[in-house]
């Protein structure tokens, strides 16, 4: 199990990533990524750029601002996972520019080294606007969205291994959608709540003007918009997708955020039975186990996710399986579950 915590102090900030045995919760590995002073991780007016680090750190920073449309955990987990490479050796960051609203992209490694990949502001004009930085799975590049000198919105990448060459990858949108990478070789996709199917051919995703729908994984980098969703198929009875439990089934939170159900993605498929006992808590899903039989969720008082935190639970995707509360000492109310391997 891979989890992340944002730790902020008076003179220090870092993201701690921990690998634990999901049976015993014994810590197996830990990596610390120091946050440089130039990194954007707060949603204040002085940090206008979009980055999932705001999602991860905002409960510590005390900011009630969000970079994106929703801070429910079903939305946050895919965004934050995209900050890291496959093995969690590097983390992508957005950096404040030297003046005005300009922002750049960089990478931080486990030794605390920051590499500014933009390498100065001349490459995109006087005030480059690069944000939504995420890591390629193999750690070779940071991908991001940017605005050209003509005002066009694009997806681009810069190599980590040397040089500051900008490679244009495809169209972006100016709406506040995060960037994730899908497929192999990777393609950039500007969309929210993205979950690729086990066979790698389809994905559940959300975008402005598009409900939780099922799409083919795109062949090229693109932004998900109402226009590109013309041939998508709606996933009925799915308010927020948590992940795939099988080749044809998604785990979804219900519209009122009290319950979880499994939903078939075939035409006219009906949702399965409720997976939790009747309750008045607000429950947010985070990750699904590799075999699709279990999932992690967070419970809190309605509309009070921070002070009203009530614990993490392991639920079963088979109706009638009672949820079990997690009591591991390493977990706190700010812990975010990123991946169940």
pLDDT digits (tens, 9 = 90+) for 274-291: 999 999 999 999 999 999
Whether residue 211 is predicted with pLDDT greater than 80 in this model: the reply is no
Instruction: Kindly report the pTM of this predicted structure.
Output: 0.94
What is the structure's pLDDT at 282?
Answer: 94
Q: Percentage of the chain surpassing pLDDT 90?
A: 64
What is the structure's pLDDT at 161?
Answer: 86
Q: Tell me the pLDDT tens digit for each residue of 263-272.
A: 998 777 778 8
What is the structure's pLDDT at 123?
Answer: 47
Higher confidence at residue 67 or residue 143?
Answer: 143
What is the structure's pLDDT at 59?
Answer: 62
What is the structure's pLDDT at 317?
Answer: 97
Burial class (CB in 10 A: 0-12, 13-18, 19+), 83: buried
Q: Which residues pair with 309 in a beta bridge?
A: 300
235: nearest Cα among 194, 198, 274, 189 = 194
Whether residue 62 is predicted with pLDDT greater than 50 in this model: the reply is no
What is the structure's pLDDT at 121?
Answer: 47
The torsion angles phi and psi of 81, rounded to 5 degrees, stand at -60, -35
Q: Tell me the pLDDT tens digit for each residue of 105-141.
A: 999 999 989 999 997 644 444 567 899 999 999 999 9
Section 307-336 average pLDDT: 92
Q: Where are the alpha helices (DSSP H) in the chain?
A: 53-61, 73-81
Among 31-35, 137-141, 157-161, 253-257, the range scoring the smallest mean pLDDT is: 253-257
**Sequence-separated (6 or more) residues with CB below 8 Å from residue 270:** 237, 264
What is the structure's pLDDT at 149?
Answer: 86
**Range 2-339 classified under CATH 2.60.40:** no
Whether residue 323 is predicted with pLDDT greater than 80 in this model: the reply is yes
Q: Percentage of the chain surpassing pLDDT 70?
A: 91
Contact in structure between 289 and 340 (CB atoms under 8 Å):
yes
Section 198-211 average pLDDT: 87
For the chain, domain boundaries: 2-339
Q: Tell me the pLDDT tens digit for each residue of 64-121.
A: 567 888 889 999 999 999 999 999 999 999 998 766 567 899 999 999 899 999 976 4
Whether residue 28 is predicted with pLDDT greater than 60 in this model: the reply is yes
**Sequence-separated (6 or more) residues with CB below 8 Å from residue 273:** 261, 319
* CA atoms 163, 41, 110, 190: torsion sign: negative
Whether residue 9 is predicted with pLDDT greater than 90 in this model: the reply is no
The CA R_g of the chain, rounded to the nearest whole Å, is 19
Higher confidence at residue 254 or residue 261?
Answer: 261
Residue 257 has which token pair? 């955020």
């Amino acid at each position: 199990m891979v989890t992340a915590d944002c730790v902020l102090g008076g003179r220090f900030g870092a993201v701690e990533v921990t690998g634990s045995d999901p049976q015993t919760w014994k810590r197996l590995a830990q990596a610390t990524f120091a946050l440089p002073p130039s990194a954007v991780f707060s949603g204040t007016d002085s940090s206008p750029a979009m980055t999932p680090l705001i999602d991860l750190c905002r409960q510590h920073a005390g900011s009630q601002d969000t970079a994106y449309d929703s801070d429910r955990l079903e939305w946050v987990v895919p965004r934050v996972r995209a900050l890291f490479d496959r093995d969690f050796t590097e983390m992508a960051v957005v950096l404040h520019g030297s003046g005005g609203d300009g922002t750049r992209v960089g990478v931080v490694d486990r030794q605390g080294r920051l590499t500014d990949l933009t390498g100065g502001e001349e490459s995109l004009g006087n005030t480059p606007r690069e944000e939504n930085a995420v890591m390629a799975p193999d750690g070779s590049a940071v991908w991001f969205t940017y605005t050209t000198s003509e005002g066009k919105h694009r997806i681009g990448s810069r190599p980590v291994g040397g040089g500051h060459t900008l490679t244009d990858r495809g169209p972006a949108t100016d709406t506040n959608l995060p960037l994730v990478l899908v497929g192999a070789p990777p393609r950039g996709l500007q969309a929210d709540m993205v979950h690729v199917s086990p066979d790698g051919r389809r994905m559940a995703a959300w975008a402005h003007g598009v409900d939780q729908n099922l799409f083919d994984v795109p062949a090229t980098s693109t932004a998900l918009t109402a226009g590109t969703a013309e041939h998508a198929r709606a996933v009925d009875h799915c308010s927020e997708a948590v992940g795939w439990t099988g080749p044809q089934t998604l785990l979804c939170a219900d519209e009122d955020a009290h319950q979880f159900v499994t939903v078939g993605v075939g035409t006219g498929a009906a949702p399965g039975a409720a997976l939790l006992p009747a309750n008045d808590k607000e429950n947010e899903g985070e990750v699904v186990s590799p075999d699709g039989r279990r999932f992690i969720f967070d419970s809190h008082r309605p509309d009070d996710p921070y002070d009203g935190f009530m614990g993490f639970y392991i639920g079963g995707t088979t109706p009638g399986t009672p949820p079990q509360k997690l009591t591991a000492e390493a977990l706190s109310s700010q812990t975010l579950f990123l991946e169940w391997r």
